Amino acid sequence: MAAATQTLTAADAFTITLIIRRFLPDVDDEARWESFDVSVYSTDRILDALHKIKWEQDGTLSFRRSCAHGICGSDAMRINGRNRLACKTLIKDLDITQPIYVEAIKGLPLEKDLIVDMEPFFEAFRAVKPFLIANSTPEAGKERTQSVAQRAIFDDTTKCILCAACTTSCPVFWTDGQYFGPAAIVNAHRFIFDSRDDAADVRLDILNDKEGVWRCRTTFNCTEACPRGIEVTKAIAEVKQAVLRGKR
Amino acid sequence: MSTIEAPRSSPTPARRSGVNWEKWGWIYMRASGVVLVVLIFGHLFINLMVGDGVKAIDFAFVAGKYATPFWQVWDLLMLWLALIHGANGMRTLVNDYASSPRLGGVLKGAIFASAAILIILGTLVIFTFDPCPAVPADQFSLLPSFCPPQ
């Protein structure tokens, strides 16, 4: 009987307050906070609350989202001061007695509401050559083989979805947009330590730069921000070690 | 037949050749940090814990240390390593937070100048310190009591 009551309670809708940092470039000179009351269920995520606002209250609210299941990396945003994916943040895990603050990720040019210009982020990503560069030719009809142990070395960094939660949580990136940023280094790590790749030295040289791995201050913001649980700071440290060794 | 275009990747600017100061700065911070832990805690232990402890520290105590080559080298290492370590740390802070290159340049110049002046003055003191300098007869009373009569 008690269990049944609890189930009923869990299914009841309740009202939360979302305070969203709005910026409509046609109207606003500067970003401003706007408050919305929205009725949600405890199983809802922040993304559901944003949808409700956009669909039922204010159609001008703009944000990116694609898959809505934590894989595409479109909806990274700053929720209660922490970078998270809106589609992976359950409302019941936040303190709903207080308003929930939602704003765009920091350090990239704000375009509209929760949308930022991701181009500087992807520019850094492209600069580390995030694709296989192999000088060898596999046997005809065969693929390049790799042992389980060889794969395990860089397995963690293959999980990156390029949501920019890490890079835009990095205080060095906030003040120095030239810094490659954690995400670019993670994606360099993914190929530097791949036994099938032959261009580790090229990528290590790129990251052995004034704006490369040496700018990392190991504040661990990136590791805490990563919605995929990648040990970002550890990956950066491994790249530092590889630069010092001069090889992977 | 169409081919897939090569991945869009900006041409990588070649790293300037020569000494990679950022890399060596990073290595220096770690190496000097390890050595400084030993030097500083050794310094504190000898000065504050051994024998009469902090009560033993006076002019004669310091003069005695600087008369010993071992402590000269110890303090010299501590001076150079700590000042460069600290100055480099502040340099990275300026790199991280100075809003304009001009301001950053001024701040880094000031950090470099203060560290250089302190290193030069400190080194001079360590090697030229003489507790009993030759003075005119009317100033004998200013010398510490342990100095031999002149």
Average pLDDT of each block of 10 consecutive residues along chain A (248 residues)? 52 92 95 96 94 97 96 96 96 94 95 95 94 90 93 97 96 88 97 95 92 92 97 97 90
pLDDT band at residue B132 using 50, 70 and 90 as cut-offs: confident
pLDDT of residue B9: 47
Chain B's closest residue to A173, CA to CA, is: B96
Please provide residue A213's backbone torsions phi and psi, each rounded to the nearest 5 degrees: -60, -25
Distance separating alpha carbons of residues A84 and A80, to the nearest angstrom: 9
pLDDT of residue B14: 57
pLDDT of residue B6: 53
CB contact under 8 A, A129 and B9: yes
pLDDT of residue B57: 87
pLDDT of residue A61: 97
ipTM associated with this complex:
0.77
pLDDT of residue A146: 93
Q: Which two tokens stand for residue A151?
A: 């794969």
- Whether A240 has its CB under 8 Å from any CB of chain B: the answer is yes
What are the pLDDT digits (tens) for B38-67?
Answer: 999 999 999 898 888 888 888 888 888 898
> What is the SS3 assignment for chain A?
CHHHHHHHHHHCCEEEEEEEEECCCCCCCCCEEEEEEEEECCCCEHHHHHHHHHHHHCCCCCCCCCCCCCCCCCCEEEECCEEEEHHHCEHHHCCCCCCEEEECCCCCCEEECCEECCHHHHHHHHHCCCCCCCCCCCCCCCCCCCCHHHHHHHCHHHHCCCCCCCHHHCHHHHHCCCCCCHHHHHHHHHHHCCCCCCCHHHHHHHHCCCCCHHHCCCCCHHHHHCCCCCCHHHHHHHHHHHHHHCCC
Q: Provide the shortest C-alpha distance from residue B43 to chain A (in Å).
A: 29
pLDDT of residue A1: 46
Domain extent listing, chain A? 13-116, 119-245
pLDDT of residue B4: 58
Q: Provide the shortest C-alpha distance from residue A130 to chain B (in Å).
A: 9
Across A132-165, b (16+ Cβ under 10 Å) vs e yields eeeeeeeeeeeeeeeeeeeeebbebbeebbbbbb
CB contact under 8 A, B22 and A127: no
Chain A's closest residue to B25, CA to CA, is: A214
Chain B's closest residue to A132, CA to CA, is: B7
CB contact under 8 A, B95 and A215: yes
Of B10, B92, B97, the CB nearest to A123: B10
Q: Which two tokens stand for residue A47?
A: 């993304």
Output the CATH code of domain A119-245.
Answer: 1.10.1060.10
CB contact under 8 A, B96 and A206: no
CB contact under 8 A, A171 and B96: yes
User: Does position B10 have pLDDT exceeding 70, yes or no?
Assistant: no
Q: Which domains does chain B have, with CATH numbers?
A: 28-131 (1.20.1300.10)
A:B CB pairs within 8 Å: 44
- Whether A226 has its CB under 8 Å from any CB of chain B: the answer is no
Chain A's closest residue to B26, CA to CA, is: A214
Q: In this structure, which topology does domain A13-116 adopt according to CATH?
A: Ubiquitin-like (UB roll) (3.10.20)
pLDDT of residue B131: 85
- Whether A176 has its CB under 8 Å from any CB of chain B: the answer is yes
Chain A's closest residue to B94, CA to CA, is: A175
Residue B92 pairs in a beta bridge with none
Distance separating alpha carbons of residues A130 and A161, to the nearest angstrom: 13
Residues in B lying within 8 Å of A, measured between beta carbons: 7-10, 12, 15, 20, 22-23, 25-27, 92, 95-97, 99
Question: Model-level pTM?
Answer: 0.85
